[in-house]
Amino acid sequence: MRDISHDSSISPPQSRHHYAAEALVKRLCVYGTKKRDLGDAHRLLIRSRGTARGYRNCIANFLSFRAQGGAPDRGPYLRSEVDEFLYLNSLTWQQKTVDQHRQAFIKVFSIELPRYRAAIPSMVRGRAYTREEFEKILAMASALHRLSIALLYHCGLRTEEILRISDLHVEAPLPDRPWRQDLFFGLHDVVICVATGKGGLTRKIAVPAHLYAELNQHRLRQPCTVRNRGQDFTTRFGLVGGQALSMAFTRASKAALGFSLGGHGLRYSYIQRRLSELRALGLSDSECLAICSQEAGHFREDITLHYTTPRRRP
């Protein structure tokens, strides 16, 4: 298990409460460690930097709440304080925010908590761009960003995953998961590559042949290290990805359409498009959802269902 007691890669704290929260969260961080290597202990630890950032912010919110009542940052942290914090905020937060804070407290403070029901209904918003909107955004984007944006749309990638694309034959074997044998069913003229994404999961992706030819033009002679959101990655292609790509996409979308749903909206587009393609090929809804879930790297179909929400247009 890697000692990260001096690792500052969760991202820079913003206040004294963030510093205190970061210290609490860091005790549990074991980045890059696989679940199977941790056994049952994985339930008590944090393997993802993104999760660590989220939990740090949750704990900082709690410490700020305590400070308003005159309680010290260093504790002791009382269960009654956590209950009061969650109850009061459940009156103004949506369920997802309440649940994230609850999970952070359970893990960081090693306590059991009931589920708190938010008083504010969750607003599920569709974010999928149409093909026409995507093409307008692509035309407005700079030459530096066009290939990355096209890969988001055609491969269903996250912006960070653009930095972690590899050829299939140079990557280590894929994780031991129940991978389906019918992934990318119905797709033609594609090159199978791999991308590493959330939680360190490496999965296959289908890159259209014309985009793969363009991708090859950006291949680096030697892999290099890039940094995104406080984390270092090894990249094999000279592409823009991560936060820089997210910001560039937002600018291009606003210039082309007058609004932005974020680069992640193209991931919604991919999933909804693939579901339609698979249904047209005669597959059942359950088969379509299972295939799309693995292509997106979810392995939980309820998560993929969230991406099927239709978008309301003016």
Q: What is the pLDDT of residues 102-117, one digit of tens each?
A: 999 999 999 999 989 8
Single residue among 74, 109, 144 that ends a domain in this structure: 109
175, 236: one domain: yes
pLDDT value at 3 more than 70 = no
184, 257: one domain: yes
Structure tokens at 123: 């607003």
Three-state SS for 102?
Answer: helix
Structure tokens at 205: 């992706």
| Percent of the chain residues past pLDDT 90, beyond the cut | 61
140, 257: one domain: yes
172, 268: one domain: yes
pLDDT given at position 12 = 47
Q: Residue 26: what are its φ and ψ, rounded to 5°?
A: -60, -30
Q: What residues have CB less than 8 Å from 91, skipping those under 6 apart?
A: 119, 120
168, 298: one domain: yes
pLDDT value at 259 more than 80 = yes
Q: Which domain holds residue 288?
A: 131-306
pLDDT given at position 303 = 86
pLDDT value at 8 more than 60 = no
- Give the mean pLDDT of 149-178: 88
pLDDT band at 173 (very low <50, low <70, confident <90, very high): low
pLDDT band at 171 (very low <50, low <70, confident <90, very high): low
Under 8 Å between Cβ of 49 and 31 = yes
pLDDT band at 10 (very low <50, low <70, confident <90, very high): very low
The 10s digit of each residue's pLDDT in 62-93 is 999 998 888 877 788 999 999 999 999 998 88
150, 268: one domain: yes
95, 178: one domain: no
The 10s digit of each residue's pLDDT in 26-71 is 999 888 777 778 888 778 888 888 889 899 999 999 999 998 888 8
Burial pattern 217-246, b for ≥16 Cβ within 10 A else e, equals: eeeeeeeeebebeebebebbbebbbbebbb
Report the domain count for the chain. 2
